[in-house]
Amino acid sequence: MIKDLSDIIRKHQKTLPNIEEMDVADKFKEVYKETEDGNLVIENEMHMCTGLRKVHMEIANLGALDIIHCIWYPDPDFDLPIFGADIVSNRNIVTAAITDISPVGDLEHPIYEEIGDISRMHSFKHNREIPTWGQIFSPYCKFARLETDEDKGTFCKVVDQYLDAFVGAVWKSTMDYNGAEQRNEAQINYCTNQKKNDKTRKILTGYFGEKWAENYINQVLFDEP
């Protein structure tokens, strides 16, 4: 499923306006560490385009554990929300799968009419509860445990359709300085709440130490605009 999802993300990424690759610090681009649990491998891809300040995908593997983490951060000068998708898979069971187009303003953005229709079309057998810091997500956030091929296929469809709508919104967007300050603050709030996920910090600290983990979280995963 990691390959299926990364293929979907890259397919849409290629269609973004004026997409170009961003430099990633060598110490973060490809990370390798031998551990008692197996070889830990982390790869990061970063791009930018008109309307989006960072298009990021991280793929990680540790033994039977596979992770994909993706966030597309908008340039606050453009009236665009934030796209995100993550899955954690352990021995072919996806213990956590989440995707959302998260607001940096209100839900009156035109994209939410389309996203609402997509969300209502798809459901999962084992929904998971949004974490306490998840108030940054929209009402159309999908968060589930995926055990069957049907559920995995459905999740990939949701991501595919969410991205189709999101890329369309990027192409339609133009600079709008009027709300830039508010969108900037909302994006900072999004990053701040994402950093409250202690599981990520504990795992990275355990393998790489506190300083490396904090730098990785603040500079790669959830860097503020």
How many Cα neighbours within 13 Å face the side chain of 160? 12
* Domain 2-176, CATH: 3.40.1500.20
Tokens of 200: 């990520």
- Tokens 């508010």: give the residue: 182
Q: Where are the domains of the chain?
A: 2-176
- Tokens 């504990």: give the residue: 202
- Tokens 């993550």: give the residue: 86
Rounded Cα distance between 221 and 169, Å, is 23
103 within 8 A of 206, measured Cβ to Cβ: no
Asked whether residue 199 carries a pLDDT value surpassing 90, the answer given is no
Q: 108 by DSSP, 3-state: which?
A: coil
Tokens of 80: 């665009």
* For range 186-204, the mean pLDDT: 93
Residue 55 exposed, middle or buried by CB count within 10 Å (0-12, 13-18, 19+): buried
Residue 40: φ, ψ to 5°: -95, 125
Residue 67: its pLDDT value, please? 96
- Model confidence pLDDT, tens digit, residues 124-163: 999 999 998 999 999 999 999 999 999 999 999 999 999 9
Confidence of residue 91 (pLDDT cuts 50, 70, 90): confident
pTM for this predicted structure: 0.95
